[in-house]
Structure 1
Amino acid sequence: MTKQLIGLSIVFLLLLGRGLHADDSVGPYIGTLTTTEAYLLYRPGNEAATLRLSVHDEHGTKVTSVDSRSESEHDFVAKFHVVELDPGTTYRYQIEKIEAGSATLVAGADGDFHFTTVPADRSGQVLNVAFISCVNDSTDPVWQQMANHNLDLLCLGGDTPYADTGNLADLRNKHRHLLQRPRLAALGKSVPLVGTWDDHDFGLNNGNGKSAAALKENTRRAFVEYRVQDQYGSGEEGIYQKTDRGAMEVFLLDARWYSQTGPSPVSPNQSTCYGKEQWQWLLEGLRSSEAPFKVLLHGQIWQDKKNRETDDMHTYYAERDALLDFIKKEDIPGVVLVGGDIHVSRYLVHPQRVGYNLHDFIISPGHTSVIPSLNVYHQDLEWSRVEPNQFLVMTADTTKAVPVLTVKFLDKDGQENLVKTITYGQLTPEPETGIAKDLRGYWSFDGDTKNRSKLGSRLDGQLRGGATVSNEHGARGGALQLSRSGSQYITVPRSMLDDNASVYTASSWIKPALLPDHGSADRSFIMESNVTNHCELPGASGSGYAISVGFRACGDAEKINLQLFTETLVPQPVGSERSPSSKPQGGFDCLLDRSLFSKWTHVAVTFDSERLQLFVNGKLAKSHPLPIRGPIAETGA
């Protein structure tokens, strides 16, 4: 009898396992939507079948139907492409299995299964788009919370899922497992889902197109099978795409496939991140975009992670900076950045980087694992949060005369941890002419230490050690008055320059009462940048002397050394798979008559990544070629 019971138990378990395996369905999921088209996917289980998607209007009248096959070649995932729909219209849908001339309903046919095409008019919309990266089973409460936010689009920002393999069967299982999470599947019935990848769903931690080359074919194949979009990269390589939802266009960039595979299209001596084809696609897409708000999304962050890994846009600073320079040159409005990867959520503002303030949102993690060590210093950091189960919702409201973008950092409990409201006007470049063009900071010292450039009060100076300002006694109006013996100075706590600036000019009027005595080791500073670590976070550079101008004695008693230093990046060659390092350069000496500085003197320094030049009273005093050419390293203030 015992043997019979055991036998029955085994049979029962085998039958149960067989039933679960046979019903291993996925979806349906909605993918890309346009004004007249819709893309959907459905996996009926481990079976080849003919499936029919039927689309109905709000009155229940059948509008159209599309047949598709679930075949083993694509892991039994069927794709549907519906055309000739009406803009801004809500449709219900259902999926049937067609067998022996009869139809059996397998999904849909109730109010949960619906989609709305993109309106033809970009105005009059309130569009809610969610962003998330780094997810696993512990993300389930986040999917549940997302259902409370009336989403129109969900963008997966990479490590969605964690695959860490190039084995096709394992990749398919992990993609399938993610899409089978009940709360996510419930969203996918009516909320379009699109995505890009990061390193783990690309197959290898910190992986790039060179180190993970052997995995790329299978990771792309599994990604394409389990996403339903109108574009997957070039069609043969990569997975980049964009989705235009009227009020917002999201560019889902591929920072993995092409990385380290060849020279950059903007800097042939450095490795590419995006590759030539994606690069051109991105520039053309930005130039032609008519959406008020344009989101550039990829898995990795846009700055330096400050660890041993190289999967960030600091590694590819040439392409990052060329992209931002392009946006500025072309006067493209409405651009914001989104990244993920680091298991920390952060918000940065890069002041006037693209002709207006560039808002940079990092959303991670969607799961419960955080990495506090990656919440590091950055000169433009405004806010950060090291907590689990986080996601981002952007609401683009074009019902207003001036469109508004509202960005919320949320968590699984629905807590609004940071809310930023940005108007379209604040994301629109304003023409600048004369001295105001590209002016980063300007202090007249006419009775105060306020900055009078467009960067505003973030660059207001702070007097230290009893330093004073006056309304007179200057070369032209007011002046800052300092005593070296009293250790007096003025500090500007935030950065004046962009990340890794390739050019700058710094100038000042000075009138030193004393110069360093001949034969002494004293140094008197005119100006020096330094990493101030305003956010008091780890990972700040200990130097950061990108701008350094000061006096030192020299061997000639009648001369003074007006000495320059800088600190630059050291670019890495193509295929190195390394991030750029940094290196102090100088001092660069220029011996001038001491008598020159007995009255107000104009001192200016120019930098162009190849040389430092020193101008005194408008004349070139010395040109210093840089032993290592490159943009400046990180600087704080």
Structure 2
Amino acid sequence: MKTTYFFVATLLLVGCSSSKKSVENETAKSDFTLAFGSCNRIDLPNLLWDDILNTEPDVWVWGGDNIYADTDDMAALRAMYNKQKEQTGYKKLAETTDILGTWDDHDYGLNDGGVEFEAKDTSQQEFLNFMNVPENSPLRKRKGVYNAKKYDVGNHSINIIILDTRYFRTQLTPDTETKKRIKPNEYGEGTLLGQVQWQWLQNELNTSKSDFNIIVSSIQYLSDEHGFEAWGNFPHEVDKFATIIAKSKAKGVVILSGDRHISEFSKREIAGMDYPLIDFTSSGLTHAYKGFTGEPNKYRIGEVVFTESFGILEFDFTAKKVDFKIVGDNGIVLEKLEQVYE
């Protein structure tokens, strides 16, 4: 048995149109394919569902802002969810692919909203309806939309852990000193996940025997300098999360995030972990921050993609490898990252 550990990471940037490749032209078939995305409006063209279908994913994961409702009117919220469910491309995907996901503020119902949103319980039920969760599911009685599902692939498995960064999240601190919207809370002040969800997450990681553990967070974990919503606004919980992951010895932990209307890879070495932690941000599906001119992110690997895109993760259990890809319209791979966990 091997007693030493190492990682290999390779970033492949697509720099010119002649070298761009579509996903369908890359013939190697992965053992398991996860596709995910966020920031999807029903009043804008949904251009990427055919490209997502072409990747033949084993699971599609919503990363939040799955619709833009910003309302406590549940009839209006339901109508928007139903319209998305009838969108031709998405409907085809839902008929053939397992669907998981979380919410973010715009489908939660309140922009930058958290624990104070009075309609959160009824909004949660509408979200679960959208996700086709059975009426008798225990998730219907849970406070918050966090959950997990394990996928067995032969003798291997992938555990997908869905977090809720809305239901329990306490007050943010407005930044009145700079042009940024939000600044970090004082260390120890407030919570993002809440006590019960923290205990659940720790148990999920401590008991997982899976080859990979994919954690879905609607907001970015590693990038924390931009002044918008991020884990970095609760610095004590950033540290708590890192400690829990390291102590759990869970294999292949990866974070998937959305929210930002940009896509990027971030990577950080964490004490006690035998591999680097990657935060793969994919946003948005129907609209992007096309006026993006740059922002600091000390953990960024490669360049920011600021056109409409989605993300895919292709798992190779034999090589203990994940190929991370940012994919645009017509299946063009805009950027990719290879990570070996061994």
**Structure 1 partner of 2:132:** 228
How far apart are residue 272 of structure 1 and its match?
1.1
How far apart are residue 257 of structure 1 and its match?
0.1
How far apart are residue 406 of structure 1 and its match?
1.3
Comparing 315-324 with 158-167, which one deviates more in the overlay? 315-324
For residues 274 and 320 of structure 2, the distance between their equivalents in structure 1, rounded to whole angstroms, comes to 18
The one of 173, 197, 200 aligned to 1:278: 197
For residues 357 and 170 of structure 1, the distance between their equivalents in structure 2, rounded to whole angstroms, comes to 43
Deviation sequence 1:409-461 (CA, Å, 0-9, x none): 11122111122222221xxxxxxxxxxxxxxxxxxxxxxxxxxxxxxxxxxxx
- The aligned amino acid for 1:140 is N
- The aligned amino acid for 2:335 is L
Matched, 1:387 2:301: no
Matched, 1:132 2:66: no
**Structure 2 partner of 1:345:** 263
**Structure 2 partner of 1:87:** none
Matched, 1:359 2:278: yes
- The aligned amino acid for 1:236 is R
How far apart are residue 240 of structure 1 and its match?
0.5
**Structure 2 partner of 1:219:** 123
How far apart are residue 322 of structure 1 and its match?
0.9
Q: How does 1:414-453 map to 2 (within 5 A)?
A: 414-425=331-342
The one of 246, 249, 254 aligned to 2:159: 249
Q: What percentage of aligned pairs have identical amino acids?
A: 23
Q: How does 1:182-193 map to 2 (within 5 A)?
A: 182-193=88-99
> CA contact under 8 A between 2:313 and 2:325: conserved in structure 1?
yes
> CA contact under 8 A between 2:148 and 2:159: conserved in structure 1?
yes
> CA contact under 8 A between 2:115 and 2:166: conserved in structure 1?
yes
**Structure 1 partner of 2:55:** 149
- How has the CA–CA distance of structure 1 residues 332 and 406 changed in structure 2, closer, same or farther, with 3 Å as cutoff? same
How far apart are residue 195 of structure 1 and its match?
1.0
Considering fraction of residues, name the structure with more strand. Answer: 1
Helix, strand or coil: the match of 1:163?
Answer: coil
**Structure 1 partner of 2:101:** 195
> CA contact under 8 A between 1:300 and 1:340: conserved in structure 2?
yes
- The aligned amino acid for 1:285 is E
Matched, 1:411 2:321: no
- How has the CA–CA distance of structure 1 residues 159 and 232 changed in structure 2, closer, same or farther, with 3 Å as cutoff? farther
**Structure 1 partner of 2:210:** 291
> CA contact under 8 A between 1:395 and 1:406: conserved in structure 2?
yes
TM-score if structure 1 supplies the norm length? 0.44
Unmatched tracts of structure 2, length 5 or more: 1-28, 172-185
- The aligned amino acid for 1:158 is G
How far apart are residue 385 of structure 1 and its match?
2.8
How far apart are residue 375 of structure 1 and its match?
4.6
Matched, 1:162 2:79: no
For residues 382 and 178 of structure 1, the distance between their equivalents in structure 2, rounded to whole angstroms, comes to 33
For residues 357 and 229 of structure 1, the distance between their equivalents in structure 2, rounded to whole angstroms, comes to 34
For residues 132 and 74 of structure 2, the distance between their equivalents in structure 1, rounded to whole angstroms, comes to 18
Helix, strand or coil: the match of 1:178?
Answer: helix
Helix, strand or coil: the match of 1:251?
Answer: strand
How far apart are residue 215 of structure 1 and its match?
2.3
For residues 154 and 139 of structure 1, the distance between their equivalents in structure 2, rounded to whole angstroms, comes to 19
- The aligned amino acid for 2:126 is A
Deviation sequence 1:377-425 (CA, Å, 0-9, x none): 1111112334332001111122x2x422111111122111122222221
The one of 316, 321, 325 aligned to 2:243: 325
> CA contact under 8 A between 1:164 and 1:201: conserved in structure 2?
yes
For residues 192 and 207 of structure 2, the distance between their equivalents in structure 1, rounded to whole angstroms, comes to 22
How far apart are residue 136 of structure 1 and its match?
1.9
**Structure 2 partner of 1:240:** 146
For residues 273 and 234 of structure 1, the distance between their equivalents in structure 2, rounded to whole angstroms, comes to 21
How far apart are residue 150 of structure 1 and its match?
1.4
For residues 180 and 374 of structure 1, the distance between their equivalents in structure 2, rounded to whole angstroms, comes to 36
- How has the CA–CA distance of structure 1 residues 322 and 371 changed in structure 2, closer, same or farther, with 3 Å as cutoff? farther
From the CA coordinates, give the structure whose radius of gyration is larger: 1
> CA contact under 8 A between 1:306 and 1:374: conserved in structure 2?
no
Which structure is higher in RCO with an 8 Å CA cutoff and minimum separation 6?
Answer: 2
Unmatched tracts of structure 1, length 5 or more: 1-123, 262-266, 426-637
How far apart are residue 256 of structure 1 and its match?
0.4
> CA contact under 8 A between 2:262 and 2:288: conserved in structure 1?
no
> CA contact under 8 A between 2:222 and 2:266: conserved in structure 1?
no
For residues 138 and 71 of structure 2, the distance between their equivalents in structure 1, rounded to whole angstroms, comes to 20
> CA contact under 8 A between 2:213 and 2:253: conserved in structure 1?
yes
For residues 291 and 95 of structure 2, the distance between their equivalents in structure 1, rounded to whole angstroms, comes to 35
> CA contact under 8 A between 2:267 and 2:278: conserved in structure 1?
yes
Helix, strand or coil: the match of 1:271?
Answer: coil
- How has the CA–CA distance of structure 1 residues 329 and 234 changed in structure 2, closer, same or farther, with 3 Å as cutoff? farther
- How has the CA–CA distance of structure 1 residues 174 and 297 changed in structure 2, closer, same or farther, with 3 Å as cutoff? same
> CA contact under 8 A between 2:222 and 2:279: conserved in structure 1?
no
TM-score if structure 2 supplies the norm length? 0.79
- The aligned amino acid for 2:123 is T
For residues 76 and 293 of structure 2, the distance between their equivalents in structure 1, rounded to whole angstroms, comes to 29
How far apart are residue 329 of structure 1 and its match?
2.3
Give RMSD over aligned pairs. 2.4
- How has the CA–CA distance of structure 1 residues 250 and 219 changed in structure 2, closer, same or farther, with 3 Å as cutoff? same
How far apart are residue 287 of structure 1 and its match?
1.0
- The aligned amino acid for 2:199 is Q
- The aligned amino acid for 1:147 is L
> CA contact under 8 A between 2:66 and 2:107: conserved in structure 1?
yes
> CA contact under 8 A between 1:139 and 1:389: conserved in structure 2?
no
How far apart are residue 289 of structure 1 and its match?
1.2
